[in-house]
Structure 1
């Protein structure tokens, strides 16, 4: 027993000595003291050297996963799909947390997740493969549908707010403000997509773009016909040197006319839209209330007559 303990002790001492020698050899070539501190200060901190626990959840898990699934979505997408995503992002207002690359990654991730869910739902059979294919297709096109829906809602908000913003812009210009100052006033005083688009136009003008180029970029970022007409009129007035105030007044009158015509068209669609709810829900209830008591009396009369 004593010999066994002696052997174990000698082995432990040998392992400790080897560990110490290796540690000294590994650190022999490194600087120490003040030189090491200066070296750490001068060395730029790389993002990859940051501890994973110090990074937010988005940088630790979500972004690497989207980067891996982006290649899968890119292989399944037709040529030019990323340019189409950029166009839809412009219509949706370019949400700060999303880009075309991240949406492609989301498409690939949704494809894999919903395909797995469909396979688990259908089981290990032919129906499971069918459900997996359907789920994968839904997951692949789901981000496109959500982005398209966001773009449509934003364009509708821009269409509703453009007339009021144009009225304010006209009043500011006719009151004596410069056109750029009037744009800034409208961007500060209003909310919604119109304020954001006007603020972006001002930012592009400040970084060196001409007024015509900035407004032409606005026309490319929208699908609203009234906005395109307004931009076209402003660009022509800027090129020909026409007074901005009269152009804005004419565009404001035209915008109010278009808005009134659109409201009348929506009002004419109301009878058609309420027809089917009336047939499905209101008329059956009326028939029950009106005809129900008479039907009960008829049934009682025939039953008594049969007796």
Structure 2
């Protein structure tokens, strides 16, 4: 009896396997037939349709979407938005793959995404109608101005780094000129032996000079791409020295001394700001812990004495 049951079970499994194989074979044949039919239809389709289907996803979807977002962003931002955004990009060091058109498109896309995220968060938390409207509008504003905040922070970090690196670069430039190198060769030494945004600016200035731009124009362009007052003063002194024929080495020596004095003054200013900045953490973080450590045992003892009486 047991053998008959086992044999029947095996036969059932065998039958199920044959049926599944038959269905799989039919599905595979149907898939092959559909693929062949699709290929035949594509071969018989017009060339314009085949070109549209064979184009990559970026050209078919992403670029048209970016163009629509760009048109909407230009209507919102105004006609002069490209110039303002380009200036922000220059201050931020022109991040790779960033352009005014892309920034405008990202701002519109960020506004749409921020709108949906703010609305979704408000609905998930069960907020009322005023909070829903507030979070939705806040997400929209934050998403729209998010790229501006990013460019501002990048430009601020770059400006601080330029201000820190400029005195050492001027010292290197002075030593190179006084050792017998020309101003252009000294700038090449600075671009080669330094890192960061200052090296990039000197490299770009030399490239502009190599393609035929005047030295004064290249220097002014470097000053216009930054907001560092010391760099603007240095560029102004170099342009005047070049225009009036003043020896470059003498001007660089004066500029180097002024840069060192200004760096010392900035360090002293930062040191004077420390007591003011430490006041808030001292009052709200350190003093409460100190009071708990000092007055806590006395408070516990007083409570025990009161409870004992």
User: Which TM-score tier does this pair reach, normalised by the shorter chain?
Assistant: 0.7 to 0.9
Per the alignment, residue 226 of structure 1 pairs with: 230
Q: CA RMSD in A?
A: 2.7
- Distance across 1 between alignment mates of 2:277 and 2:300: 34
Partners in 1 of 2:94 and 2:276 — Cα distance? Answer: 36
TM-aligned CA distance change 1:285 to 1:69, over 3 Å: same
Q: Which stretch has the larger CA shift, 70-79 or 213-222?
A: 70-79
Deviation at 1:292, TM superposition (A): 1.2
Q: CA offset at residue 122 of structure 1?
A: 3.5
* Equivalent residue runs for 1:165-176 within 5 Å: 165-176=169-180
Partner of 2:28 in structure 1? none
| Secondary structure class of the residue paired with 1:156 | helix
Secondary structure of the 2:291 match is helix
Aligned partners of 2:107 and 2:147 also within 8 Å: yes
Conservation of the 8 A alpha-carbon contact between 1:158 and 1:193: yes
Q: Offset of 1:96 from its aligned partner?
A: 2.1
Using the alignment, how far apart are the partners of 1:49 and 1:203 within structure 2? 41
Tell me the equivalent position of 1:239.
Answer: 243
Does structure 2 retain, via aligned residues, the 8 Å contact 1:70–1:107?
no
Which residue does the alignment assign to 1:85?
Answer: 85
How far off is 1:75 after superposition? 1.2
Aligned-pair distance for 1:291? 1.1
Residues 88 and 147 of structure 1 are in contact (CA less than 8 Å); yes or no, is this contact kept in structure 2? yes
5+ residue gaps, structure 2: 1-39
Q: Is the 8 A contact 2:91 2:227 kept in 1?
A: yes
- Corresponding residue for residue 110 of structure 1: 110
Using structure 2 for the length normalisation, give the TM-score: 0.78
| 1:221-269 deviations in Å (ceiling 9; x for gaps) | 1100000000000000000001000100100000010010001000000
Aligned to 1:210: 214
Residues 125-144 of structure 1 aligned to structure 2 (within 5 Å): 126-127=129-130, 128-144=132-148
Structure 1 spans left out of the alignment, 5+ residues: 1-18, 31-47
Q: Deviations over 1:150-170 (max 9, x none)?
A: 111111111110111110010
Q: Could you give the per-residue CA deviations for residues 97-138 of structure 1, whole angstroms, max 9, x where no partner exists? A: 101110000001001111122233334984544433221111
- Which residue of structure 1 aligns with residue 163 of structure 2? 159
CA–CA separation in structure 2 for the residues paired with 1:147 and 1:81: 14
> What's the counterpart of residue 36 of structure 1?
none
CA 1:185–1:51 in structure 2 vs 1: closer, same or farther (change >3 Å)?
farther
Q: Equivalent residue for 1:199? A: 203
Instruction: Kindly state the Cα deviation for residue 278 of structure 1 after the two structures are TM-superposed.
Output: 1.0
- In structure 2, how many angstroms separate the alpha carbons of the residues matched to 1:139 and 1:222? 27
1:181 is the counterpart of 2:163: no
Query: Do the aligned partners of 2:205 and 2:222 also contact (CA within 8 Å) in 1?
Result: yes
CA distance in 2, matches of 1:64, 1:185: 46
- Residues of 1 paired with 2:252 and 2:115: CA distance? 54
Partners of 1:196 and 1:234 in 2: how far apart?
19
Q: State the TM-score, normalized to the length of structure 1.
A: 0.79
63 and 151 in structure 1: CA distance in 2 versus 1, 3 angstrom threshold: farther
1: CA distance, partners of 2:67 / 2:85: 16
Does 2:292 correspond to 1:288? yes
Name the CA distance, whole Å, in 1 between partners of 2:214 and 2:114: 47
| 145-154 vs 119-128, which moves further | 119-128
Matched, 1:271 2:275: yes
Deviation of the 1:50 alpha carbon? 9.6
